[in-house]
Structure 1
């Protein structure tokens, strides 16, 4: 039996998110310089993402709140790994990243799953 081609699965995920998703950004804020005079830099990293609502059975009012968004983030052209310190820009509006998980069978990230909140 042959091995599964995860690179092909990744390409399929990238294609589907590009086709059915939208353009957005991962907004990262970095601070540099001395502590008494820090310089804050905000950088937007363009990305393709598919945004969905959580189904009622997933909303528990504690971990997942009504209004949270489930975001599938494509790896295509993304030069950073998203983190909970970043923001995701959806339709021009900033959303906090509450949780981020890579779908990475065999160590290759196919796409990122993000829980976002306004």
Structure 2
């Protein structure tokens, strides 16, 4: 039996695929604190949709006018986006400064919504 969250995930996937774009998410793992060495970088392909925040949410402190609310399809994405990741959309890199997994039942990630701030 398919639960409601699986159906919501499928609906979110269809909407993002229809209006969104191919993009990428990069996770940078720091070097081992004991043995040192190089950090590693892993790239994940994603289907995503960057949106401008509604003016009423922009306060100049936690949300800036250049921040984007990025909807990322959870289907096929190998990781859960987290603060510190970098999302690339339309040739622009955004640092994830806030992430919401939208996982209501503790099992199914319906959609990922992140707050992205332009990398400088």
Contact 2:96 2:117 in 1 (8 A): yes
Q: Secondary structure at the match of 1:97?
A: strand
Deviation at 1:76?
1.3
Uncovered stretches (5+) of structure 1, i.e. residues with no partner: none
**Which structure has more strand as a fraction of its residues?**
1
Deviation at 1:104?
1.7
Deviation at 1:5?
1.6
Aligned mates of 1:54, 1:61 — CA distance in 2:
12
Deviation at 1:4?
5.8
Q: Secondary structure at the match of 2:80?
A: coil
Aligned mates of 2:31, 2:55 — CA distance in 1:
42
In the alignment, what sits opposite 1:38? 37
Q: Secondary structure at the match of 2:101?
A: strand
Stretch of structure 1 that moved more, 27-36 or 9-18: 27-36
Contact 2:81 2:101 in 1 (8 A): no
**1:45-92 alpha-carbon deviations (Å, 9 max, x no partner):** 000001110011110111111110011110111001111121111122
In the alignment, what sits opposite 1:113? 113
In the alignment, what sits opposite 1:64? 63
Uncovered stretches (5+) of structure 2, i.e. residues with no partner: none
Q: How many residues align?
A: 116
Aligned mates of 1:49, 1:25 — CA distance in 2:
8
Aligned mates of 2:15, 2:88 — CA distance in 1:
20
In the alignment, what sits opposite 1:47? 46
Aligned mates of 1:78, 1:27 — CA distance in 2:
12
**Based on CA coordinates, which of the two structures has the bigger radius of gyration?**
1
